[in-house]
Amino acid sequence: IINSVVLLILLSALTDPDQYHLTSAELGGEFEFMDDANMCIATAISLLMILICAMATYGAYKQHAAWIIPFFCYQIFDFALNTLVAISVLVYPSTIQDYLRQLPANFPYKEEIMSVNPTCLVVIILLFISIILAFKGYLISCVWNCYRYINGRNNSDVLVYITTNDTAV
């Protein structure tokens, strides 16, 4: 659903670029926020994500385990990227302050965030990222359990034990 909303926003920005164009003065820097090539790439990624999510949903519904694998791989990749973000925040804590300085002047609560002790800010961000990583890990285990369940259900090598009063086969 989130990917669909992002796709709608991107498509509306592609159809009317003047509505979503931000000047470098508004951004507080010397760079272009989103040009047409980046918009097309973001649209393609959004379409791909919708396709992967639809494949996972279809695979779970029709009990085709192979259709779930692309979504599982995406989740592992996303978890790895978020872990790298957490490691970079831990290794280079000064990048947070640099990032905050690059934000536009009219960014909400920018001054309040900048006034927070840098060590406390790193701890808060790491705590937030840790919560997100724990949730993503839980979702990865859910998808993996779904895959294993469907795989086991469709597997013909399942042993069946029949017990009677005298023997077990």
What is the model's pLDDT at position 62?
93
Judge whether 23 lies within some domain. no
Q: What are the structure tokens assigned to 63, written together?
A: 């009990």
What is the model's pLDDT at position 134?
97
**Total domain count for the chain?**
1
Judge whether 2 lies within some domain. yes
Q: What are the DSSP calls for 48-115, one per residue? A: HHHHHHHHHHHHHHHT-GGGTHHHHHHHHHHHHHHHHHHHHHHH-THHHHHHHHHS-TTSTTHHHHHT
What is the model's pLDDT at position 113?
85
What is the model's pLDDT at position 73?
95
Judge whether 86 lies within some domain. yes
Judge whether 18 lies within some domain. no
What is the model's pLDDT at position 20?
58
Judge whether 61 lies within some domain. yes
What is the model's pLDDT at position 2?
74
The residue range of the domain holding 57 is: 1-12+34-138
What is the model's pLDDT at position 157?
59
Query: Is the entire prediction scored with pTM above 0.85?
Result: no
What is the model's pLDDT at position 79?
96
What is the model's pLDDT at position 42?
78
Judge whether 149 lies within some domain. no
What is the model's pLDDT at position 163?
66
Judge whether 102 lies within some domain. yes
Judge whether 164 lies within some domain. no
Burial 29-46 (b: 16+ CB within 10 A, else e): eeeeeeeeeebeebbeeb
Question: Which segments of the chain have a pLDDT < 70?
Answer: 14, 17-36, 156-169
